[in-house]
Structures are given as C-alpha cells and as structure tokens.
Copies of this chain bind each other. A is one copy, B any other.
C-alpha cells in the first residue's frame, strides 16, 4: 500500500508537502498541490491513520459500549450517535459489554486503540457493587493526566459519579404511564418488572408505588411480578400468575416494552380482550411494541435524539469544553391500542375489594 513517501517521490516533492496537501491544502501553492493530488490518485494513496494517530495522539474515533447489541432499544440510539459523530468528523466503533468482565475487556480494548472518548450505556451487572467498581475504574481512567479519556454515561446506575452523564427520567416516565392508566379509571394495576437493583427499575417501581398511593391504593404484593431476565417468555409466565389473583388487575404497567409484549401474550392466551378486559402499557417505544397486536401504548424514549446528544456531549468534552452539563431526558406518552377505559363489569369486581 502506497505511503506518503511514494506520493512525494512521484510528485517530485518532499513527504511533508504531501502531508500538507492532505491536512492543510491552503498552505501549499496551487501548482504544487495539483501535482500532489494527481500523484495521490495515480497510486491510489490512502493515509495510514495508524501512523497519524501515533504522532498526533488522537484517533478521531469514539467508542460506544452497549450492554447488549441484541437489545432493540439500542438500534436507534446507535444510529443517532453515528449520524452526529460523523457530522462532527468522528468515527464510531461499537462494542458489546454484557457483563462486568466483557465490559472491562472491551473498555481496555478501546483504551488500547486509543479512542478519544467513549459512550457507555446502562450497564446492569449482577451486583450493584460491580457497577460501582466499574464507575470508579472509569473515573480513574478519566483522571489520568496524559491521554485522559473522556466518558459520557447514559443512564448510569448508581447515579452518583464525577463523570458526565445523561440521565433518563425514569421516575417521570413511569409516572406518565401510571397517570394514563388512572385517567382511564384503572385502580387495580399490576406491575411487571425486573428483579434487579439498577436505578432504572427501582425508579419505575417507586413511581408505580407513589402513583398508587396518590389514589389511596395500598401496595398489593400479589400485583407485583418481578422476573430475572428481560425475556418475553418469562414475562408471559409471570403475567399468568398476575391474572390469577383476586381481584384480577384491570391493567398492567410493564417496566418496559419487552415485558409488556410478554404480558400481551399471556392476555391473548387467557382469551382476554385487550384493552376491553385488560389494559397493558410499557415504556421505551421499541419496534417490538409498534409491531404487537394490538399496538402497544407506551412511553417513548427519544432514543435517536439521545444518541445524538450523547455524541455531541462527548465530542464537546474531547474538544476541551468544560461546561458541558449532565442532562436529564424526558419521555412522552404514546397512546396506542393496548389501553382503554375501565369497563363497568370489571369495575364491579374491582369495587368488591375497595
């Protein structure tokens, strides 16, 4: 593969002149420039970014570490990151980090590749301890004097960190979902969520509890179902248990769309009509919700925008802007077909117990 030298020889100039044509064309006389440009084309020269990075100590590359690339939640997010990053002249590399080990290994990989910064999305490792450990590690890398790496954390848990972060307002999103159900007249509302100690689930659960409290419904533990994995089948099975309780819930607030789809499956298979017999609402606004039957009512996260914002924030940090504040992102209700008003007969059942 051709090098600067080759081009220089062909064009009859010094290597540095070729370098200038590439990096700062105006600094070279037009005649020389044209000569060089032609030589570049002729031997199909392509700059070696490896060599360049070694000198400049910059790779113009950012890394994105996802907790799980197979999670549809992240597709739009990445598109947003990529689009904005490309717009700002940065390349993007994507890595998977499904557990503490693979996350750490990929962060090290990205460090070795000397990315200028990283975006890390909501990690949920087995223990909150591991998550804290990771956070401290990142803070250490960030504080490193030479070649300090910049980080942007998306919805980290625990929230307390010195690093720049973008928080999703999970409590608000869940409150919006609950308010919607309340406005439709539902009182016996079940909550389907994950048995994890990450803030995202804790906040959504707290919003559920508080919302029920506001309409004077005490917490009914039979109406809480927590599963171990974000999995449609597990959510379906948990929902069967919810549907066997008395009074039967008239609505289910699922902590995200994947779980909501599981609830939908269970409702279908118990021959319940949706939303006449039971309303179901999720959070996220994934494709999985858009493609369900009936279409899922959900609280939409602006994931693409979130990606754009993350990229912008990170690149600002890389460019030395100090005043880049952490952000809090809001979500919006999207009413579709899976929620409807509480009907009389079910209301009757419900009121027996009120």
Given A144-B1, A146-B1, A232-B290; A50-B264 close (CB under 8 Å): no
The answer to whether A96 and B79 have CB atoms under 8 Å apart is yes
* A4 contacts chain B at the CB level, 8 A cutoff: no
* A75 contacts chain B at the CB level, 8 A cutoff: yes
Chain B's nearest CB lies how many Å from the CB of A305? 15
Chain B's nearest CB lies how many Å from the CB of A235? 10
Residues of chain A in range 212-267 having any CB-CB distance to chain B below 8 Å: 232, 261, 264-265
Measured between alpha carbons, how far is A51 from B292 in the docked complex, in Å? Answer: 50
State which of B54, B91, B94, B290 has its C-beta within 8 Å of the C-beta of A50. B54
Q: Which residue of B lies closest to A265 (CB)?
A: B293
The answer to whether A49 and B147 have CB atoms under 8 Å apart is no
Interface residues on A, range: 35 or more
Residues of chain A in range 269-290 having any CB-CB distance to chain B below 8 Å: 287-288, 290
Looking at A110-118, A171-179, A202-210, A345-353, the stretch in contact with chain B turns out to be A110-118
Q: Which residue of B lies closest to A146 (CB)?
A: B1
Measured between alpha carbons, how far is A72 from B73 in the docked complex, in Å? Answer: 11
Chain B's nearest CB lies how many Å from the CB of A277? 15
A positions within 8 Å CB-CB of B: 1, 46-51, 53-54, 59, 61, 69-70, 72, 75-76, 78-79, 82, 91-96, 108-109, 111-114, 144, 146-147, 232, 261, 264-265, 268, 287-288, 290-294
Measured between alpha carbons, how far is A61 from B288 in the docked complex, in Å? Answer: 33
- Residue numbers in B under 8 Å from A114 (CB-CB): 48-50
- Residue numbers in B under 8 Å from A294 (CB-CB): 268
Measured between alpha carbons, how far is A293 from B293 in the docked complex, in Å? Answer: 7
Additional A-B contact list (7), CB under 8 Å, known A54-B54, A70-B78, A78-B96: A1-B146, A50-B54, A50-B59, A69-B69, A72-B287, A91-B109, A287-B288
Measured between alpha carbons, how far is A264 from B292 in the docked complex, in Å? Answer: 10
Query: Which one of A59, A96, A293 has the highest number of Cβ atoms from chain B below 10 Å of its Cβ?
Result: A293
Chain B's nearest CB lies how many Å from the CB of A347? 26
State which of B53, B79, B82, B293 has its C-beta within 8 Å of the C-beta of A292. B293
Measured between alpha carbons, how far is A217 from B166 in the docked complex, in Å? Answer: 59
A-B contact pairs, 28 of them (CB 8 A): A1-B147, A46-B108, A46-B111, A47-B112, A48-B112, A48-B114, A49-B112, A49-B114, A50-B54, A50-B59, A50-B113, A50-B114, A61-B113, A69-B78, A70-B76, A70-B79, A72-B287, A79-B96, A91-B113, A93-B93, A93-B94, A232-B291, A264-B293, A265-B291, A265-B293, A291-B292, A292-B292, A293-B293
Query: Which one of A70, A76, A147 has the highest number of Cβ atoms from chain B below 10 Å of its Cβ?
Result: A70
Measured between alpha carbons, how far is A290 from B79 in the docked complex, in Å? Answer: 25
- Residue numbers in B under 8 Å from A112 (CB-CB): 46-49
The answer to whether A94 and B94 have CB atoms under 8 Å apart is yes
- Residue numbers in B under 8 Å from A287 (CB-CB): 72, 288
Q: Which residue of B lies closest to A66 (CB)?
A: B94
- Residue numbers in B under 8 Å from A232 (CB-CB): 290-291
- Residue numbers in B under 8 Å from A147 (CB-CB): 1
- Residue numbers in B under 8 Å from A54 (CB-CB): 48, 50-51, 54
State which of B82, B264, B290 has its C-beta within 8 Å of the C-beta of A96. B82
